[in-house]
Amino acid sequence: IRMAIRLAAPTGWRVIREIGVRVPGGNLLPDLTVLRPDAPRERMWAEPADIGLVLEVESTGSRRHDRFTKPALYAEAGIAHYWRVERGNFGPVVYRYRLGEGEHYELLGTLGPNDPVNVDEPWPMKLDPSAWPR
């Protein structure tokens, strides 16, 4: 997933695995963090203003945290986009969210392994989960 997003990234955007993100009351470690081109480099922690997207890959052990706790904290921090990836029976399923009013995420759409779609967040790209390893 990281490589697919990285290959689609415009110049300057960085797709980083497990960099710390500062949120109200603490820090979190998303599975993937997409940093804006003007974000400072060589840091262990990212500020929400420097983040275009956080992505969590759900597992049995992280399901509750990835569905409820983390999105609420990311939204409260003001991170514009959140994606959650689940492992479906036929491949990955992506739930795409955008920050709405009142510090909560609104579902933009869901796509499965046979549903490639063009998205605009955090930049325009074709999102095709069927190309990701299972």
pLDDT in tens, 73-89: 999 999 999 999 998 78
Whole-model pTM: value is 0.91
Max distance between CA atoms of the chain, in angstroms, equals: 39
Q: What percent of the chain has pLDDT over 90?
A: 69
Q: How far apart are CA 124 and CA 34, in angstroms?
A: 14
Segment 14-27 mean pLDDT = 92
What is the residue whose two structure tokens read 């514009």? Answer: 80
What confidence tier does 133 reach under pLDDT thresholds 50, 70, 90? low
Q: Any bridge partners for residue 87, and if so which?
A: 92
| Ranges assigned E (strand) in 3-116 | 14-17, 20-23, 26-28, 32-35, 45-46, 51-57, 81-88, 91-99, 105-111
Segment 123-128 mean pLDDT = 91
Whether the predicted pLDDT of 13 surpasses 90? yes
Whether the predicted pLDDT of 91 surpasses 70? yes
Q: Token pair for residue 94?
A: 């992506």
Per domain, the residue ranges of the chain are: 2-131
Q: How far apart are CA 130 and CA 112, in angstroms?
A: 8
What's the pLDDT score for residue 134? 59
Using an 8 Å Cβ cutoff, are 51 and 34 in contact?
yes
Topology of the domain comprising 2-131: tt1808, chain A (3.90.1570)
Segment 27-54 mean pLDDT = 94
Whether the predicted pLDDT of 62 surpasses 80? yes
Q: What percent of the chain has pLDDT over 70?
A: 99
Using an 8 Å Cβ cutoff, are 94 and 127 in contact?
yes
> Nearest-CA neighbor of 48 among 68, 28, 63?
28
Element (H, E) at 71: helix 70-77
Segment 37-56 mean pLDDT = 93
Q: What is the mean pLDDT of the chain?
A: 91
Using an 8 Å Cβ cutoff, are 104 and 77 in contact?
no
